[in-house]
Structure 1
């Protein structure tokens, strides 16, 4: 007759935690070693970085040593035109895009992921055009030609 409670030491029991209904807890969908799925801040940063990389590859001489940064909100008093979406400085070679005004104050005719990304990219293009003194449509001529 086998004795109760004797197990080989090679088999360790896994601890199973139960919630108040007696069910085992579920693991996260992304697993323990993966970052969480995307959020608005990360997707904004990735869109700005992708547009900046495209512009740097297209205009390498004009955008040498230009830093693209993301800020939450503009600091200080605003001019009479409303809340700024970006700030550029040719002397410092900087473009700062403000995430909250771009995401929350833009009036999109369709509020989905594609149109939000297009709004972010258009702000990157317009801010860069302001920095180097060109028309935004000239920055990516083949990108918009179908």
Structure 2
């Protein structure tokens, strides 16, 4: 009997497996990085406006295909669902529309902040400029 141990596959390429271990920072997806951006922006807003601390925050890839009747101006970047029937208010940010409009990572951070500021302003019945004086500025 031959005690030959096969260390390569039949084409000689070697054993296949993951390129990065599961905990490596480079393994994070674009969706994970976008979630971090949204959480950081909301954290800044909650520190400035404690009234929004009970608001639920969600990120979805795309908005539903059946827009609300008042949404007639294109694809929404975010949406506010007001509190009702004992459920807290909820802000949803749509990842793909935001990413498609952003020019680079810095622009994406600014755009996420603007979307959240607009939704928080609507929630608190204030203007976006009251929530963040820098909203809409490049």
**What is the TM-score of this pair, normalised by structure 2?**
0.70
Gaps of 5+ in 2: none
RMSD: 3.0
**How many aligned positions are there?**
125
Tell me by how many angstroms 1:118 deviates.
Answer: 1.6
Paired position in structure 2 for 1:8: none
Provide the rounded CA distance (Å) in 2 between the counterparts of 1:70 and 1:129: 18
Q: Which has the higher helix share?
A: 2
2:93 matches 1:102? no
Larger-Rg structure: 1
**What is the TM-score of this pair, normalised by structure 1?**
0.67
Tell me by how many angstroms 1:63 deviates.
Answer: 0.9
Cα deviation digits, residues 104-139 of structure 1 (max 9, x gap):
2x2x4xx22111222122211222122112222332
Gaps of 5+ in 1: 6-13
Provide the rounded CA distance (Å) in 2 between the counterparts of 1:123 and 1:18: 51
Provide the rounded CA distance (Å) in 2 between the counterparts of 1:117 and 1:131: 21
Contact 1:87/1:127 (8 A) holds in 2: yes
Contact 1:87/1:97 (8 A) holds in 2: yes
